[in-house]
Structures are given as C-alpha cells and as structure tokens.
C-alpha cells in the first residue's frame, strides 16, 4: 500500500467542498482509493477515482467546532431513535437513521447551510 497527496486538490463527492486532508491510497490488487474528510458535510468519504463511485466511511460525523467524533447520547436515545453528540459542544447533535445515514438534529441550523 502506498499513499500520496502531492499538490492535488481533493473535492467532496457530495458537495464539492475542498478536502485539504485528502489522500490517495493505492492498494495492490484493488487500485487507488481517495480518502478525505468534508467539513461541510461532516463526513469522511472514500472514492474510487477510476469509476467515480463513492461512499461515506462508516464512522459517526465529526463535531464542526472541535473535530471530535460525536458519541452516543444515552439520555436522548431509545430503542428506536439513536442520537449522537459532541461531549464538549452539546449543540452538535446528529440522529443516526441506519444504513450509514445521519441527520442533523442540533439546536441550531445545520452548519453546512452556512458554508
């Protein structure tokens, strides 16, 4: 496996926001995969540059304030609805909708609406 980031600009496959920490990972037998974090979507993505297919990595979103991964909020969650929030920034709340789908559920407008 080798990684490169050179001077290439990686863009979010969903909103086209630049992902400054993007990199390409070259796997033997599987070809290259581009990885990066989109601050606007608050998601990590993996893209196949040969086909253009992409998927979000199966981790929880990151806090827009500090970049920490949001954690399960056991007080707000139940058997049907699972909420995740930043330990240090309680306004950063996300609802997990299954199948790696997340919905902003914070006390203010979605941070991506302002970027």
Tens-digit pLDDT profile for the chain (115 aa)?
344 455 677 888 888 888 877 788 887 777 888 888 887 877 788 888 888 888 776 677 888 888 888 899 999 998 888 999 999 999 999 888 876 677 888 876 655 543 3
* 6 and 52 inside one domain: yes
Structural domain harbouring 41: 2-56
What pLDDT sits at residue 114?
39
* 49 and 78 inside one domain: no
* 51 and 13 inside one domain: yes
* 15 and 45 inside one domain: yes
Residue 31, in any domain of the structure: yes
Q: Maximum distance among all alpha carbons in the chain?
A: 46
What pLDDT sits at residue 110?
56
What pLDDT sits at residue 113?
44
114 phi/psi in degrees, rounded to 5: -100, 0
For the chain, what is the domain count?
2
* 43 and 88 inside one domain: no
Which residues, 6 or more positions from 93, have their beta carbon under 8 angstroms from its beta carbon?
Answer: 70, 73, 76, 83, 84, 85, 104, 105, 106, 107
Residue 61, in any domain of the structure: no
């Amino acid at each position: 496996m080798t990684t490169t980031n050179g001077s290439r600009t990686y863009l979010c496959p969903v909103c086209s926001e630049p992902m400054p920490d993007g990199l390409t990972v070259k796997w033997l037998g599987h070809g290259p995969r581009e990885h990066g974090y989109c601050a606007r979507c608050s998601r990590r993505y993996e893209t196949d540059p040969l086909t253009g297919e992409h998927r979000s990595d199966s981790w929880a979103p990151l806090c827009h304030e500090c970049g920490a991964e949001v954690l399960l909020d056991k007080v707000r969650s139940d058997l049907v609805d699972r909420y995740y929030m930043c330990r240090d920034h309680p306004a950063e709340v996300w609802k997990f909708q299954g199948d790696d789908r997340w919905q902003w559920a914070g006390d203010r407008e979605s941070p991506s609406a302002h970027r």
